[in-house]
């Protein structure tokens, strides 16, 4: 059983057994780094709960066998082609309620949770299960998290709650303890490459590059494949870094002036730079760990020959500190300028 997922077969098998053996939990928490496949797995799970083919395999919200009865080869496996599955895939099914931070906000608010709870108290329109998908729940305010507690303890009948977050450690303990946690981790690069080739028909060279850039996160690999501007932007940020390493202080401060205004973009740039310097550190240490930025292997090797291991480690530490300061609403202009001063001076980059 794979649910057409790249990797995470153990999680698919576990959730499939919960459905076919009628041992569903009322709330699940899918954790792992962004792009690892949390949302995709959640949607596949909700499809499996409500797909007519799956229901024919024996699962039923009231317990016991489904009225259609009998075994079914599709038991626990959504068809992904019926009207129900397609609407769930698009997150447009009337019995799938999706809650996440709004575009103009960085937090999930208590009013959003209260509205969700009201909708959950109503009967399902057509599906056997009413499902709530709460994305990136680490962004929930304390009030929003507390508002969800009673429903997590005593959910309405035929309701399944699915939360996603980077880690259970950053959620209220009272939230995490009331959910069945499914911890997703990056999968081997060759497995990502194979999945991209087999399921998405990508050429081997492109699949290999995306597998490496994603760091074993298939969701992020697919995002880059489906959003070419994001892949282009990554390349431009790496070009900027290589240009800045031998640059003067004046040039570096001019760049700080360009990047500090949009904190979200600044954070994304920093993550790309962190991945590059980790590759430099691995090369400087003589590690055989696969590089993330496979297409920059030449530049990584050159810089690794110009700096020592402690410089590479220190640069990663400064970049991560900058990420932390930005997340704490530090002065982004000053933070960018300090980072420009802290970047090592490297004369030869290619």
pLDDT at position 2, please?
A: 86
Architecture field, domain 231-342: Up-down Bundle (1.20)
**CA pair distance 243, 20, nearest whole angstrom:** 56
Q: What is the dihedral of CA 336, 339, 341, 347, to 10 degrees?
A: -120
Q: What is the dihedral of CA 42, 272, 191, 43, to 10 degrees?
A: 10
Q: pTM for the complete prediction? A: 0.88
Lowest mean pLDDT among 27-41, 53-67, 121-135: 53-67
Residue 162's closest CA among 316, 327, 44, 329?
44
Share of the chain above pLDDT 90, in %: 88
pLDDT at position 345, please?
A: 96
Phi then psi dihedrals of residue 131, to 5 deg = -120, 135
Here the tokens at position 255 are 């760049």
Mean model confidence pLDDT for the chain:
92
pLDDT for 71 beyond 70: no
Q: Give the CATH fold of the 9-183 domain.
A: Rossmann fold (3.40.50)
pLDDT at position 72, please?
A: 36
pLDDT at position 57, please?
A: 53
* 99-128 per-position pLDDT tens digit: 999 987 889 999 999 999 999 999 999 999
pLDDT for 348 beyond 70: yes
Q: What is the dihedral of CA 340, 310, 286, 296, to 10 degrees?
A: 0
User: Pick the residue with more confidence: 273 or 55?
Assistant: 273
Q: How confident is the model at residue 76 (pLDDT cuts 50, 70, 90)?
A: confident
pLDDT for 32 beyond 80: yes
Pairing of strands 159-165, 96-99: unpaired
325: helix, strand or coil: helix
For tokens 């998908």, what's the residue?
133
pLDDT at position 106, please?
A: 82
* Residue 181, H or E segment: strand 180-183
pLDDT at position 350, please?
A: 82
pLDDT for 14 beyond 50: yes
Here the tokens at position 248 are 């003067």
Exposure string over 132-171, b if 16+ CB within 10 A, otherwise e: bbbbbbbbbeeebbebbeebbeebeebbbbbbbbbebeeb
pLDDT at position 73, please?
A: 38
pLDDT for 60 beyond 90: no
Share of the chain above pLDDT 70, in %: 94
pLDDT at position 191, please?
A: 97
pLDDT for 316 beyond 80: yes
Helices (H) and strands (E) in the chain, counts: 16, 5
pLDDT at position 75, please?
A: 62
Mean pLDDT, residues 317-339 taken together: 96
**CA pair distance 248, 246, nearest whole angstrom:** 7
For the chain, the residue count is 350
Cβ-contact 120, 130 below 8 angstroms: yes
Query: What does the domain layout of the chain look like in residue ranges?
Result: 9-183, 186-226, 231-342
Q: How confident is the model at residue 260 (pLDDT cuts 50, 70, 90)?
A: very high
Here the tokens at position 220 are 């992020």
pLDDT at position 212, please?
A: 97
């Amino acid at each position: 059983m794979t649910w057409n997922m790249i990797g995470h077969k153990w999680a698919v098998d576990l959730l499939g057994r919960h459905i076919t053996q009628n041992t569903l939990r009322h709330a699940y928490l899918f954790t792992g780094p962004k792009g690892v496949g949390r949302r995709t797995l959640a949607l596949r799970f909700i499809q499996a709960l409500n797909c007519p083919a799956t229901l024919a395999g024996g699962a039923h919200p009231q317990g016991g066998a489904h009225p259609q009865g009998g075994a079914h080869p599709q038991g626990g496996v959504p068809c992904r082609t019926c009207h129900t599955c397609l609407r769930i895939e698009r997150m447009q099914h009337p019995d799938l309620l999706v809650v996440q931070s709004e575009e103009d906000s960085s937090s999930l608010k208590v009013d959003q949770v209260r509205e969700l709870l009201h909708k959950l108290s109503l009967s399902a329109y057509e599906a056997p299960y009413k499902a709530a998908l709460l994305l990136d729940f680490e962004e929930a305010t304390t009030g929003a998290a507390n508002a969800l507690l009673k429903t997590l303890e005593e959910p309405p009948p035929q309701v399944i709650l699915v939360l996603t977050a980077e880690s259970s450690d950053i959620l209220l303990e009272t939230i995490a303890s009331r959910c069945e946690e499914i911890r997703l981790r990056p999968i081997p690069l060759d497995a990502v490459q194979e999945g991209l080739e087999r399921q998405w028909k990508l050429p081997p060279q492109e699949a290999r590059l995306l597998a490496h850039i994603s760091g074993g996160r298939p969701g992020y690999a697919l995002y880059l494949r489906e959003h070419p501007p994001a892949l282009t932007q990554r390349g431009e940020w790496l070009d900027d870094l290589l240009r800045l390493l031998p640059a003067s202080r004046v040039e570096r401060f001019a760049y700080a002036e360009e990047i500090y205004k949009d904190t979200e973009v600044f954070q994304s740039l920093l993550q790309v730079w962190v991945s590059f310097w980790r590759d430099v550190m691995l090369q400087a240490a003589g590690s055989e760990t696969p590089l993330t930025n496979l297409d920059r292997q030449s530049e990584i090797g050159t810089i690794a020959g110009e700096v020592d291991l402690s410089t590479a480690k220190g640069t990663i530490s400064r970049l991560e500190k900058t990420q932390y300061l930005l997340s704490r609403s530090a002065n982004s202009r000053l933070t960018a300028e300090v980072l420009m001063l802290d970047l090592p001076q490297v004369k030869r980059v290619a």
